[in-house]
Amino acid sequence: MKAGPAKSDWSQMRLREYLPADVDSLRQIHRAQGFEYRLPNFSDPLFVTRVVLARDSELKALKTQVNPHFIFNCLNSISALTTSDSAKAREMCVLLADFLRKTLGLGEKALIPLRDELALTHSYLSVEQIRFGTRLKLDEQTDPAVLDCLLPPLLLQPLVENAVGHGISNLTEGGWIRIEIGRGAGENLFVKIENNFDPETPRRKGAGIGLKNVRQRIDTAYGSRARFEVRTDADRFAVSLEIPAERPGERPAEKSVEKTA
């Protein structure tokens, strides 16, 4: 009968769940914690605790950048509607309040099922649908087999918000957003969000905040195990990402750390 891993091996496995695989990220973590750079002692409980808490703190800080950005854009939309259609402005306020209510619970979690993240994204789109009406067209293709996969909350919504704000909002005739979610390479979860846009529209100040935030959160959470790609082709803009397709119960170490953090 094959023996299980030694106690020190469990410590190494637990830490590697939270550490980025690339050496540069390890060096940055060491410097942030006041260490001289050297090969880490994975069996040192103090080192494990410091690295895990540093990663979780960074993730929480990045997550808080999402909501203010979204609220700012929503309030601008409501402001624009108050003079043209007060009834729609009131409806938009109700939908926005509903979205924020949903985020209060899910936003506190480290990971949520994809089905919940999609529900948040649809709630956001219902707000913007009031503003754009038939100008906003959505084509979504999601593999039901991946709906239970876990991912950080408010990861997809900023990408869809970017497609609306920097694509559809600048098109007089409106535009489209295409969401494709399914299995990627190996056991990865694949997400692609594509939209059309006007390539002659000047780049606005603050453009790309949502994309930068998502990229940072993915890098911090998954390191080299994830992929994030942005591509522009004529009047089409696409963002694609791949992250490990984790499911409930597959990362018990994450839950234990979250409770003690």
- One domain, residues 205 and 231: yes
Of 48 and 109, the one with more pLDDT: 109
In Å, how far are 48, 113, 211 from 217, measured between CA atoms?
20, 17, 10
Q: Check whether 215 has a pLDDT greater than 70.
A: yes
Domain that holds residue 117: 64-244
Q: How confident is the model at residue 255 (pLDDT cuts 50, 70, 90)?
A: very low
Q: Is residue 209 over pLDDT 90?
A: no
pLDDT exceeds 50 at position 55: yes
User: Based on the domain organization, do 23 and 84 belong to the same domain?
Assistant: no
92 and 145 in a common domain: yes
Q: What pLDDT band is residue 166 in, cutting at 50, 70 and 90?
A: confident
Of the pLDDT bands very low, low, confident and very high (cuts 50, 70, 90), residue 79 is confident
Q: Is 73 found in the same domain as 51? A: no
User: Does 141 lie in the same domain as 50?
Assistant: no
Contact, 37 vs 27, CB < 8 A? Answer: yes
**Residue 251 resides in a domain:** no
Do 170 and 189 lie in a common domain? yes
User: Is the same domain home to 155 and 224?
Assistant: yes
**Could you give the CA distance from residue 261 to residue 257 in angstroms, rounded to a whole number?**
6
User: For residue 151, what pLDDT is reported?
Assistant: 93
Residue 62 scores a pLDDT above 50 = no
Ranking 92-101, 151-160, 243-252 by mean pLDDT, the lowest is 243-252
Same domain membership, residue 141 and residue 206: yes
Q: What is the pTM of this model?
A: 0.68
Same domain, 204 and 135: yes
User: What is residue 92's predicted lDDT score, i.e. its pLDDT?
Assistant: 86
Q: Are 31 and 51 in the same domain?
A: yes
User: What confidence score (pLDDT) does residue 102 get?
Assistant: 78
123 and 39: one domain?
no
Count of domains observed in the chain: 2
Check residues 172 and 139 and name the one with the higher pLDDT: 139
- Write the DSSP string, the chain: -PPPPPHHHHHHHHHHTTS-SSHHHHHHHHHHTTPPP----TT-HHHHHHHHHHHHHHHHHHHTTHHHHHHHHHHHHHHHHHHH-HHHHHHHHHHHHHHHHHHHHHTTSS-EEHHHHHHHHHHHHHHHHHHHGGGEEEEEEE-GGGTT-EE-TTSSHHHHHHHHHTTGGG-TT-EEEEEEEEE-STTEEEEEEEEE--TTSPPPTTTTHHHHHHHHHHHHHHGGG-EEEEEEETTEEEEEEEEE---TTS-HHHHHHHHH-
Query: Do residues 79 and 51 both lie within one domain?
Result: no
What average pLDDT is seen over the chain?
76
Q: Which amino acid is at 54?
A: A
